[in-house]
A = this chain, B = another copy of it.
Amino acid sequence: MIIHEITHRIAYYETDTMGYVHHSNYIRLFERARTEMMRSLGHTYAAMEASGIMMPLIEASCRYHSPGRYDDLLTVKAIIKELPATRMHLDYEVHNEAGMLICSGHTTLVFVNARTRKPIRAPEAFVKALVEFS
């Protein structure tokens, strides 16, 4: 299992009239955590794209446990439990500074050839990095 954690300060534009973090923004925080996890593995998503591979999402889900609020310093964990083949599954957990679970979620990404946009297998070097870090 690989876990990578980032912190993210909630800005005004991420909140709504209800006084909460707008629910659509957690999926964006998942992306930030996933991106930094890849960077920590030595394979940035930018480099992945430069090498001709894109990783669009095919599925995302969120469960909202407790509201996030303005100026909260949220911790976002990205979690990989199994090695990717043509798809990569990630789980996420968002906590606030008091340790309260705010949101949990899941995304599925596919590896595609950036030119043809057809599915391909996860690059061997990336899978190797995942093995080393897990």
Interface residues of A (CB under 8 A from B): 9, 11-13, 15-20, 22-25, 27-28, 31-32, 35-36, 44-46, 54, 56-64, 67, 69-71
Nearest Cβ in chain B — how far from A68, in angstroms?
11
Chain B, Cβ-Cβ closest to A106: B61
Q: What are 11 residue pairs bridging A and B, where the CB atoms are less than 8 Å apart in the complex?
A: A11-B28, A11-B35, A12-B16, A17-B69, A18-B54, A20-B56, A58-B63, A58-B64, A59-B64, A60-B61, A61-B62
Given A46-B71, A61-B60, A64-B58, CB of A12 within 8 Å of CB of B19: no
- A59 to B19 alpha-carbon distance, docked (Å): 18
| Of B16, B25, B54, the contact of A24 (CB 8 Å cutoff) | B25
Contact A17 B12 (CB under 8 A): yes
Chain B, Cβ-Cβ closest to A22: B13
